Amino acid sequence: MNPNLDKLQPYPFSKLQALKAGLQPANKPHIALSIGEPKHEPPKFVQRALVAHLDKISAYPLTIGLDPLRQAIADWLCARFQLKQVSADSQVLPVNGTREALFAFAQATVTPGSKVLMPNPFYQIYEGAALLAGAEPHFINCLADNSFKPDFGSVSESVWQQCELLYLCSPGNPTGALLEIDDLQLLIELADRYDFTIASDECYSELYFDESAPPAGLLQACEQMGRSNYHRCVVFHSLSKRSNLAGLRSGFVAGDAQLLEKFLLYRTYHGCAMPLPNQYASIAAWQDEEHVRENRALYRQKFDAVLDILDGCLEVQKPQASFYLWPRVGNGEEFARELYRQQNITVLPGSFLARNSEGVNPGSEYVRMALVATLEECIEAAERIKEFCRQT
């Protein structure tokens, strides 16, 4: 067996099950705020497109994907991020959701013994991808005094010199913090100086509150630098959160054509082509924005209602984007355990999403709450959390 497998930590939800083991929860309906799995209804027109192309299930799909799908993605990128041009032939590659692609990208691009940098807290796939590639993860803390953005200034020159891959997540999971154009352009300059690749996980980019101010993206930062080849930069997007299609396993990676050429070669051997019915359904999803605006409106309702209830009883602020709350609760594991026991609500301790770095675990005083349940359930959960906070 690959000895690097022994370096992997249990997944956060395995830790959560262990934390809850043996507890007898209150006799109330369970409300899960722990897993970031969208519960809003998937678009009917996407479901129809999927069914309409089920006859193509007998055909082998190409790893590179259908031309119309790549073109739909390229068109969406240009419209969404004000890009002049994205080549559907060389700068776009469909993938089976961002999770597998984020993991696979490190396997294809990283040299064993190098460093892979990532935010802390983080999506655990980044760490696992680095370890299985034989690299060393380096964690960049995201603290309140830096608006929960990674403190890139804390990274030493020697670490930058050893870096081959930098994972970004904006909007951030779990904090909802955004990297602005200036932040992204600084990182692009660092990538040029120290010769590393930037992999930007932007799967929450379409969950924001102000319709006139969508979050910035890495390719957008490149465009504003006159860098239309997106050198050293790739972005990862998904239909899971944007369109409530987590089970479709559909996303894409886009950016530097030279990097994608090699990544396509890797994926051809990896055997991960997207089924044709899923591709046709994805074309329909990427070509429509109305359902995405409706999706954002539903999340706005839930954030407004929940934050109004929690005001004054919990140290929590509205995030810049995403569907998570990141309240400071003291001891996150104790809070999660007791909230489950007393109110039958499951949240995720922030320490399970972070690692000790620079003498601190930046998630230890926090929990992550995913507002993915129905509006009524989210309101009920907020009322119970308010009661819990008053009693403790």
Q: Which of 86, 46, 126 is nearest to 290 (CA)?
A: 46
pLDDT at 48: 98
pLDDT at 11: 93
Q: What is the DSSP string of 100-146?
A: HHHHHHHHHHPPTT-EEEEEES--HHHHHHHHHTT-EEEEEEB-GGG
Of the three residues 288, 315, 335, the one that is the final residue of a domain is 288
pLDDT tens track for 344-383: 999 999 999 999 999 999 999 999 999 999 999 999 999 9
pLDDT at 184: 98
Of the three residues 262, 288, 314, the one that is the final residue of a domain is 288
**Do 79 and 213 fall within a single domain?**
yes
Determine whether 6 is exposed, middle or buried from the number of CB atoms within 10 Å of its CB (0-12, 13-18, 19+): exposed
- Contacts of residues 55-64 at CB distance under 8 Å and 24 or more positions apart, as own/partner, are 56/276, 56/277, 56/280, 57/275, 57/276, 57/277, 59/276, 60/273, 61/273, 61/274, 61/275, 61/276, 61/279, 62/273, 63/264, 63/267, 63/268, 63/272, 63/273, 64/93, 64/94, 64/264
Tokens of 21: 């083991």
Residues paired with residue 94 on neighbouring β-strands, in sequence order: 252
- Ranges of the chain whose pLDDT falls below 50: none
Q: What is the DSSP string of 298-328?
A: HHHHHHHHHHHHHTTTSB----SBSSEE--B
Ranges of beta strands (E only) in the chain are 31-32, 92-95, 115-120, 136-141, 163-169, 197-201, 233-238, 251-255, 324-325, 345-346, 348-349, 367-370
pLDDT at 90: 98
Identify whether 46 is part of a domain.
no
pLDDT at 67: 98
pLDDT at 271: 87
- CATH classification at residue 343: 3.90.1150.10
**Do 27 and 131 fall within a single domain?**
no
Q: Which of 82, 87, 92 is nearest to 223 (CA)?
A: 82
Identify whether 51 is part of a domain.
no
Q: Is the peptide bond before 121 cis (omega within 30 degrees of 0)?
A: yes
The domain tally of the chain equals 2
- CATH classification at residue 133: 3.40.640.10
Residues paired with residue 370 on neighbouring β-strands, in sequence order: 324
Q: Which of 213, 147, 203 is nearest to 170 (CA)?
A: 203
Identify whether 175 is part of a domain.
yes
Of the three residues 241, 260, 288, the one that is the final residue of a domain is 288
Amino acid letter, 262: K
**Do 232 and 107 fall within a single domain?**
yes
Query: Which domain, by its residues, includes 25?
Result: 3-41+291-391
Contact status, residue 219 vs residue 179, Cβ threshold 8 Å: no
pLDDT at 45: 98
pLDDT at 122: 96
Q: Which of 292, 123, 85 is nearest to 201 (CA)?
A: 123
Identify whether 333 is part of a domain.
yes
What is the model's pTM?
Answer: 0.97
**DSSP classification of residue 208:** B
Question: Percent helix, strand and coil across the chain, each rounded to 5?
Answer: 45, 15, 40
